[in-house]
Amino acid sequence: MAKSFDTLVKRTTSKRTRERASRRARELLQELLLSEIREMTGKSQQQVAKAIGIKQPSLSKLERQSDMQVSTLRKIVKALGGELEVIARFPNRTVKIEQFDKPTARPASNRRGRKKPQLV
């Protein structure tokens, strides 16, 4: 009788190896291309393109690009049901960049009286 893959994995690998593989799988699932995210959400290029007001060939081109405007990426992510956050990682801390939270950045006058942010 044929054995399931899970049964074979449990018999041929250690618990430590399985845990390491599971962690790596979770990491890889957090590093996806836009097209892979779209496919995971079950949406077609046509559906997403219509939602953001462009044509399907334009979305196809965007999915292959390595560089695009933050506002365009935000629209695509929103059409996929997500929310975009821009995070900067420094050696000693991680900072969420608020400037990109809304379509228009907060005016500098809103920051008067606040201490100058410092990286600690």
Kindly report, residue by residue over 43-82, the tens digit of the pLDDT: 999 999 999 999 999 999 999 998 999 999 999 999 999 9
The burial class, CB within 10 Å (0-12 / 13-18 / 19+), for 50 is middle
- Separation between Cα atoms, residue 35 and residue 38, nearest integer Å: 5
* DSSP β-ladder status, 93-96 and 87-90: antiparallel
User: What are the structural domains of the chain?
Assistant: 34-106 (1.10.260.40)
Structure-model confidence comparison of residues 25 and 112, the more confident one: 25
What's the pTM? 0.63
Q: What is the pLDDT of residue 60?
A: 95
Q: What tokens appear for 1 in the block?
A: 């009788």
